[in-house]
């Protein structure tokens, strides 16, 4: 093969360009700290980096979920601790009031303090985490209890995913955390003031006919009640329509309240309500003047359905009604409070372990990602210096290769 001057120059320029590309690549790696800029430069490594980034994003989200869960449960635990202090004080007052030597004034003073404790307990149930109510289930924009201490949240759990496919319920509903405590307070207040008369009946959710084999959808339903000497008949709903087996539980309860308010000359008072899945009808009067009775014939299908218990159908003397049963209600409420806080504590301990493991996993993934895409600075500097020497040698070789032309002699 004949080697001409042009061939030598062409080869020199090709080699010089190759060396410049290598020098530029090393400069890019050193300035960016990365082994590659585009996936096309290293497809396999780029694919691995994308996988590492995806895993790191997942870990980061799980860490955020753990932080949110921890924060929510810390707020819940703090509120339950405050609630426990209220219950302990109420229990002390119950023990103090369970004697026959208290005067009417002393009982009333005791009742006033219990009322304040009940109000404080309801205030605790309205604890928020940010702008969301903690004890309302998933209905976090609704107060857990209304002014009548009726639970108006839901029983659904708020869950956080703390690991792939692993979820943890982070909330406590108001029904779980406070319903027993509020009921114990209500019983104590009622007993301190002589005890309001109450009767209890069984009534499940849905329509009346759905809860009884003896009531059809078109069966007329009525109830005759006497509260504090006032007798009235419950036959129609708020729209003036006859109550039937197709009437829902909520409509039936509202009909009782409407009829009672009309008969007793009150407005907007609650005489009937659903409590722990049962129907409760009560007098609003305390003491011996408080009386309630159901006058409907026992053979009527509605009576078979409701199956009333009238053990508290009359009020009584205040201090005489405070007994071990009142203390037991608070003991049960306190035990439930402690158990709930223990469950929260166990979950928080688990979250701490999960957080630690996620941090270790993040460190490991970042290390693997760095090994896959980051350059070794010291090694790259050394290679850059070697490549600079090679490039300088290429330039020097090229200068000798390019021989003088005719024009150089015509100057």
Answer yes or no: pTM beyond 0.75. no
280-297: per-residue pLDDT in tens?
787 777 666 678 888 888
Task: Kindly report which listed range (120-134, 208-222, 283-297, 301-315) carries the lowest average pLDDT score.
Answer: 301-315
Q: Establish if 367 belongs to a structural domain.
A: no
* 189: confidence class by pLDDT, cuts 50, 70, 90: confident
**Average confidence (pLDDT) over 355-374:** 85
Local confidence band at 266 (pLDDT 50, 70, 90 cut-offs): confident
Radius of gyration of the chain (CA): 40
The Cβ of residue 202 has, within 10 Å, a number of other Cβ atoms equal to 13
Mean pLDDT of the 174-196 span: 83
Task: Note the pLDDT of residue 319.
Answer: 39
Residue 135 has pLDDT above 90, yes or no: yes
Averaged confidence pLDDT in the chain: 82
Q: Which of 38, 145, 40 is nearest to 83 (CA)?
A: 145
Domain that holds residue 298: 197-316
pLDDT at 177 over 90: yes
Whether residues 248 and 271 share a domain: the answer is yes
**Rounded to whole angstroms, how far apart are CA atoms 195 and 303?**
25
Residue 100 confidence (pLDDT) above 60: no
CA–centroid distance for 279 within its chain: 29
Higher pLDDT, 235 or 399: 235
H or E element that contains 259: helix 249-264
State the pLDDT at residue 91. Answer: 93
The listed range with the strongest mean pLDDT (71-75, 191-195, 263-267, 320-324) is 71-75
User: Residue 293 is inside which H or E element, if any?
Assistant: strand 292-294
For range 98-112, the mean pLDDT: 77
Predicted confidence band at 323 (pLDDT cuts at 50, 70, 90)? Answer: low
pLDDT of residue 68: 93
Confirm whether 86 is domain-assigned.
yes
Residue 107 has a pLDDT of 78
As given in the structure block, the two tokens for residue 261 are: 């308010």
The mean per-residue pLDDT over the stretch 215-220 comes to 88
Which domain-ending residue is among 316, 347, 365?
316
Looking at the structure, do residues 281 and 392 belong to the same domain, yes or no?
no
Residue 388's H or E segment, with its range, is helix 377-401
Weakest-pLDDT range from 123-132, 240-249, 382-391: 382-391
SS3 content of the chain, % helix, strand, coil (to 5): 60, 15, 30
Say whether both 307 and 333 belong to one domain. no
| 385 and 270 inside one domain | no
Compute the distance between CA of residue 247 and CA of residue 203 in angstroms, rounded to an integer. 12
CA dist., res. 278 & res. 147, Å (int): 20
Residues 136 and 201 in one domain: no
Q: What is the pLDDT of residue 250?
A: 87
Question: Is 203 part of a structural domain of the chain?
Answer: yes
| Number of structural domains found in the chain | 3
Apex 141 CA angle, 136 and 147, nearest 5: 65
> Considering the domain boundaries, does residue 51 fall inside one?
no
Residue 66 belongs to a domain with what CATH number? 1.20.1330.10
- Are 246 and 351 in the same domain? no
By mean pLDDT, which of 92-106, 212-226, 391-405 is the weakest? Answer: 391-405
3-state DSSP call for residue 161?
strand
Mean pLDDT of 242-249: 90
Is residue 366 a part of any domain in this protein? no
Cβ distance 228 to 190 under 8 Å? no
For residues 363-376, give the mean pLDDT: 78
Q: Do both 173 and 69 map to the same domain?
A: yes
- What pLDDT is recorded for position 341? 96
pLDDT at 304: 80
User: What value does the mean pLDDT take over residues 263-291?
Assistant: 77
Same domain for 242 and 169, yes or no, is: no
- Do 300 and 379 fall within a single domain? no
Q: Tokens at residue 383, please?
A: 């290679």
Among the ranges given (24-38, 53-67, 193-207, 333-347), the one the predictor scored with the smallest mean pLDDT: 24-38
Q: Is the pLDDT of residue 347 over 70?
A: yes
Residue 192 lies in a domain: no
Per-residue pLDDT at 194: 60
Report if residue 26 sits inside a domain. no
Domain shared by 276 and 349, yes or no: no
Q: What is the mean pLDDT of residues 205-222?
A: 87
User: pLDDT category, 125, cuts 50, 70, 90?
Assistant: very high
Could you give the percent of the chain with pLDDT greater than 70? 81
Mean pLDDT on 45-74: 89
Q: What is the pLDDT of residue 401?
A: 63
Above 80 in pLDDT, residue 343? yes
pLDDT number for residue 317: 45
Grouping H, G, I as helix, E, B as strand and the rest as coil, residue 232 is: strand
Residues 261 and 298 in one domain: yes
Q: Is 30 a member of any domain?
A: no
Whether pLDDT at 201 is above 90: no
Can you read off the two tokens belonging to residue 13? 């320029």
| Residue 135 and residue 201 in one domain | no
């Amino acid at each position: 093969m004949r080697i001409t001057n042009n061939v030598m120059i062409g080869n020199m320029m090709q080699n010089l360009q190759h060396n410049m590309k290598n020098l530029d690549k090393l400069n890019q790696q050193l300035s960016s700290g990365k082994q590659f800029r585009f996936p096309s430069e290293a497809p396999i490594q780029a694919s691995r980096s994308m996988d590492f980034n995806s895993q790191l994003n997942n870990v980061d989200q799980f860490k955020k979920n753990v932080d949110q869960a921890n924060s929510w449960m810390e707020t819940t635990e703090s509120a339950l601790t405050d609630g426990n202090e209220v219950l302990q004080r109420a229990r002390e007052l119950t023990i103090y009031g369970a004697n026959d030597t208290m005067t009417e004034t002393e009982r009333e003073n005791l009742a006033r303090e219990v009322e304040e404790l009940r109000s404080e307990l309801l205030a605790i149930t309205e604890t928020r985490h940010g702008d969301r109510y903690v004890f309302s289930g998933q209905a976090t924009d609704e107060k857990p209890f209304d002014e009548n201490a009726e639970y108006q949240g839901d029983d659904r759990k708020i869950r956080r995913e703390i690991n792939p496919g692993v979820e943890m319920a982070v909330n406590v509903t108001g029904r779980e955390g406070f319903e027993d405590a509020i009921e114990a307070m209500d019983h104590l207040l009622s007993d301190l003031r002589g005890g309001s008369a109450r009767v209890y009946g069984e009534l499940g959710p849905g329509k009346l006919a759905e809860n009884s084999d003896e009531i059809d959808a078109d069966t007329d339903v009525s109830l005759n009640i006497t509260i504090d000497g006032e007798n009235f008949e419950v036959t129609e709903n708020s729209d003036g329509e006859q109550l039937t087996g197709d009437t829902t539980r909520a409509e039936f309860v509202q009909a009782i309240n409407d009829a009672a308010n009309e008969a007793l000359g009150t407005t907007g008072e609650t005489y009937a309500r659903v409590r722990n899945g049962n129907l409760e009808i009560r007098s609003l009067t305390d003491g011996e003047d408080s009386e309630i009775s159901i006058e409907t014939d026992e053979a009527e299908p509605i009576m078979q359905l409701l199956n009333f218990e009238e053990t508290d159908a009359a009020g009584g003397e205040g201090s005489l009604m405070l007994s071990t049963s009142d203390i037991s209600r608070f003991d049960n409420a306190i035990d439930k409070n402690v158990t709930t806080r223990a469950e929260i504590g166990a979950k928080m301990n688990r979250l701490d372990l999960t957080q630690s493991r996620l941090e270790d996993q993040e460190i490991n993934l970042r290390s693997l990602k760095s090994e896959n895409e980051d350059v070794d600075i010291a090694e790259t500097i050394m290679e850059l210096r070697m490549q600079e020497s090679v490039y300088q040698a290429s330039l020097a070789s090229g200068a000798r290769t390019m021989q003088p032309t005719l024009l150089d002699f015509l100057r």
